Amino acid sequence: MTTVSATIRDRGLSKKFKAMEATTSGRAPVVREAWRAAGVAYLRDTVEDYRSSAAGRGRWRRLSPVTVLLRRRGKGRKIRTWADVDRRRGEMEILRDTGRLANSLMPGAAGNVLQVERLQVECGTNVRYARVHQRGLKQRFELDEGQLQRNVTQSFGGRPAARTPTGRRSRATRRWNPMYFQARNWLRKLHGKSFRVPKREIIRKPTKARLRSYVGLLKKAILSPLGR
């Protein structure tokens, strides 16, 4: 399974950790748990970055009008105009539709990667579509017209044409929403075409400051049980 992850390691401390492993007399799990604690700290920071970027306070590119038109509407009012689309672009969180990707960054959650190896820890997610957003890859667009109908108002009231007792059709009184048909025609032209998804880094290389804090956790977790 494809994963999107970062590996935390500190070569400067490796010799010290190896020496500690040799002196723990079978207490190697102490070292392993120390690396796991560092991984959990990294994931916690990643979740904070994700929430900030999803809210539009980070470096992630804004949602496209296509995403706004087709994302699950929930309990909000249907889209009626293009102005509604622009407004929702500023209100919708980025990469926060089902919550599956964001939740997978939490230790122990479905899709989470927290793999401790000797003197390093790998952290990230194995959610399938994470790689597309992490690297900004190409993806084929598939139009879900049913979702468009659920999201966008088709008419502003009235009633459709109906057959009279004589077999003729009465005149329709429904007021159709032209914006819906404009959006549908536009999306139909995009159907089946490939486009590049904007690159939005979910997993980032730790900053020097954060790396120092992880090393501090490692030292504390390992030295304390050994009475040092």
- Tell me how far apart the alpha carbons of residues 43 and 141 are, in angstroms, rounded to a whole number: 31
| Nearest alpha-carbon partner for 111 in 98, 102, 122 | 102
26 pLDDT tier (thresholds 50, 70, 90): very low
User: In a 10 Å sphere around its CB, with 0-12 CB exposed, 13-18 middle and 19+ buried, how is residue 94 labelled?
Assistant: buried
Mean pLDDT of the chain: 87
70-117 pLDDT per residue, tens:
998 777 789 999 999 999 998 999 999 999 999 999 999 999 999 998
Domain borders along the chain are 1-60+105-129+202-228, 61-94+138-153+172-196
Largest CA distance in the chain: 98
In angstroms, the CA 66 to CA 186 distance is 9
- Tell which residue, 211, 210, 209, 224, has the closest CA to residue 31: 224
| 226 compared with 141, residue with greater pLDDT | 141
| Mean pLDDT along residues 142-164 | 86
Q: What is the pTM of this model?
A: 0.83
Residue 37 pLDDT greater than 70, yes or no: yes
**Average pLDDT in the 9-14 region?**
68
Number of H helices, E strands in the chain: 9, 5
Give tens-digit pLDDT for 170-182: 666 678 899 999 9
133 Cβ contact list (under 8 Å, min separation 6): 95, 101, 197, 198, 199, 200, 202
Q: Residue 116: in which H helix or E strand, if any?
A: strand 112-117
Q: Which of 103, 87, 7, 8 is nearest to 54 (CA)?
A: 103
Q: Distance (Å, rounded) from C-alpha 8 to C-alpha 113?
A: 13
pLDDT at 179: 96
Name the CA radius of gyration of the chain, rounded: 26
38-50, pLDDT tens digit by residue? 999 999 999 999 9
Please, which residues have CB within 8 angstroms of residue 26's CB and are 6 or more apart in sequence? none
